[in-house]
Amino acid sequence: MQLLIQCCVLWFVSPEGIEALCNDVNVNHTDVRMLIFAWKMKAEKQGYFSKDEWRRGLKCLGADTRPKLKKAIEGLDKELKVPECFEDFYSYAFQYCLTEEKQRSVDIETICELLNIVLKSEFPNQVNLLVEYLKVGKQLFKLIYVQNDYRALNMDQWRSFYRFFKEVDFHDLENYDSSQAWTVIIDNFVEWLKEKEKN
């Protein structure tokens, strides 16, 4: 542990530090495993790890030497196999993107990237469709819902995506009930999917 901490120049591992770390363990900083690592650490601020967070992360991974850390990070994606863990991680991923103090929502671009990072492996098809909808539908809905153009989404909406993918079969959209407690954006997404299928 001592060895690794000495590796960090600052107590706050900064973006440069993280980049160095990524190079060391040979994992891209946009890789989902870095995000999982941040989650393990319960890192609060994007791009920075505090000393406590760093310690926590290393302890979780059981790594006290550089090679051990590299190995641990490489294997991090297996951590998400447990559904409860995944839900927690999934919410965390959104939280991590909130950079400003009173920020409640994240812009569409980042959402799309995040979806790709976090959900693509499990739901490749669905993620592609949703991303397409968010990017294209944004234009369309500006016309119809004057008040509701989706420039940014909040935590509640983010959470509903994962639940939706888990619970609803895309081939069986006829049974989807929009009077249920799904978020309005999901209702609109389903409408768009149905239209798409017709054409």
Partner 1 sequence: MVLHKFGEKLYSGLVATMTGHLKEIAKSVEAAQGAEFYRVESQKFIECCDCGDYLKKAERRLNEEIDRVSHYLDPRTEKKITNVVEKEMIENHMLRLIHMENSGLVHMFSDDKYDDLGRMYNLFRRVPDGLSKIREVMTEHIKETGKQLVNDPERLKDPVEFVQRLLDEKDKYDKIINFAFNNDKSFQNALNSSFEYFINLNPRSPEFISLFVDDKLRKGLKGVSEDDVEVTLDKVMMLFRYLQEKDVFEKYYKQHLAKRLLSGKTVSDDAERSLIVKLKTECGYQFTSKLEGMFTDMKTSQDTMQGFYASHPELVDGPTLTVQVLTTGSWPTQSSVTCNLPAEMSALCEKFRSYYLGTHTGRRLSWQTNMGTADLKATFGKGQKHELNVSTYQMCVLMLFNNADRLSYKEIEQATEIPASDLKRCLQSLALVKGRNVLRKEPMSKDVGEDDAFFVNDKFSSKLYKVKIGTVVAQKESEPEKQETRQRVEEDRKPQIEAAIVRIMKSRKQLDHNNLIAEVTKQLQSRFLANPTEVKKRIESLIERDFLERDENDRKLYRDPDVVSLKTRCCFFIVICITIRTNVVGCEEVLTCASNLQSIVGDSNILPFYLEQGIANTIGCLQREGCLLRGEHNLLGEAFLVMASVAGIQQQQEVLAWLLEPLSQEWTHSEWQDKYLSEPYGLVYLFSEAQVMWSSFHSVTFFDKALNRSGIKKANWNPENSSTPDSTPINPILIKYFVLSGSCSYFPATSHYTLSLVSICTSNFTWRDPSCNDHE
Q: Which is nearer to partner 1, 14 or 154 (CB)?
A: 154
Report phi then psi at 151, rounded to 5.
-90, -25
Rounded CA separation 114/110 (Å): 6
Residue 154 makes contact with partner 1 by CB under 8 A: yes
Q: Single out the segment in contact with partner 1 by CB under 8 A; choices: 8-16, 42-50, 109-117, 148-156.
A: 148-156
Q: At what angle do helices 66-74 and 15-25 cross, to 10 degrees?
A: 80
**Beta 152-154 vs 105-107: how paired, if at all?**
antiparallel
- Which of 53, 93, 119, 160 lies at the binding interface for partner 1 (CB under 8 A)? 160
What is d(CA 22, CA 101) in angstroms, rounded to the nearest whole number? 27
Site string for partner 1, 95-124 (x = CB under 8 A): ---------xx-------------------
Instruction: Please report how many Cα atoms fall inside a 13 Å half-sphere around the Cα of residue 131, on the Cβ side.
Output: 18
Look at residues 69, 75, 161 and name the one whose alpha carbon lies nearest to residue 123: 161
Question: At its nearest, how many Å lie between partner 1 and the CB of residue 2?
Answer: 40
Cβ proximity to partner 1: between 104 and 196 the closer is 104
Alpha carbons 58 and 8: distance in angstroms, whole number: 13
Nearest CB to partner 1, comparing residues 18 and 108 = 108
User: Quick check: 187 binds partner 1 (CB under 8 A)?
Assistant: yes
Based on the shown chain and the rule CB under 8 A, indicate whether residue 163 belongs to the binding site for partner 1: yes
Answer for which of 26, 30, 99, 148 binds partner 1 (CB under 8 A) is 148
- The reply to whether 156 sits near partner 1 by the rule CB under 8 A is yes
136 CB-contact burial (10 Å; exposed 0-12 / middle 13-18 / buried 19+): exposed
Smallest distance, Å, CB 32 to partner 1? Answer: 24
Interacting residues toward partner 1 by CB under 8 A: 104-105, 147-148, 154, 156-157, 159-160, 163, 178-181, 183-184, 187
